Amino acid sequence: MTAPLNTTSEQATDVGPVIYVCVTCRPAGAPDSELRPGANLAAATATAAAGTEVVVRPIKCLANCTRGPTAAMRANGSWTYVFGGLDIAFAGALIEGARLLAGAADGILPWRGRPEPLKRGLIARIPPIGFHEVDG
């Protein structure tokens, strides 16, 4: 296994749960503004992560532009989840979801107990590197 292109000394901080928040997002049709709703969400999520093991990373674009604000999450070895239609009020739900994902032995975010915004806002999920369906 070769090293990923972007290996940095900070990589070790990303083996636990990570939430990526798009800082460019604004709801479709919303006027442009200096501080985007996505940036507000990133700030609120970072605040909500204080004291937890969750790392929050602001990202310039997650390319879910028509259904933002957007966040994605994964923990080492888990599936990756993308959520849209988020709101600053859902920062706590993101943290709760990331911790739930980190604790899932099968790497899958359980439906039961999943915060509501992470149910109705689900955009896509992607398997971890090396995953293949057992009978697929």
Asked whether position 85 contacts its own copies by CB under 8 A, the answer is no
Q: What are the tokens at 32? A: 């442009």
Q: In which order are the strands placed within the sheet that holds 18-22?
A: 55-59, 18-22, 71-74, 80-83, 122-126
Cα–Cα distance, 55 to 9 (Å, whole number)? 15
Q: Six-digit token pair at 112?
A: 């039961």
Residue 28 interacting with its own copies (CB under 8 A): no
Determine which residue in the list 25, 48, 82, 93 makes contact with its own copies, applying CB under 8 A.
82
Which residue is it, tokens 């009020």? Answer: 89
Shortest Å, Cβ 2 to its own copies: 6
Q: How far is the CB of 97 from its own copies (least distance, A)?
A: 14
- Indicate the residue among 8 and 31 with the shorter CB distance to its own copies: 8
Strands 18-22 and 71-74: antiparallel
Give whichever of 73 and 91 is closer to its own copies, judged by the CB atom.
73
126, 78 in Cβ contact below 8 A?
Answer: no
With respect to its own copies, which residue has the nearer C-beta, 89 or 126? 126
Please give the residue ranges that form the binding site for its own copies (CB under 8 A): 1-8, 10-12, 14-15, 18, 20, 23, 57-64, 70, 72, 74, 76-78, 80-82, 105-107, 122-133, 136
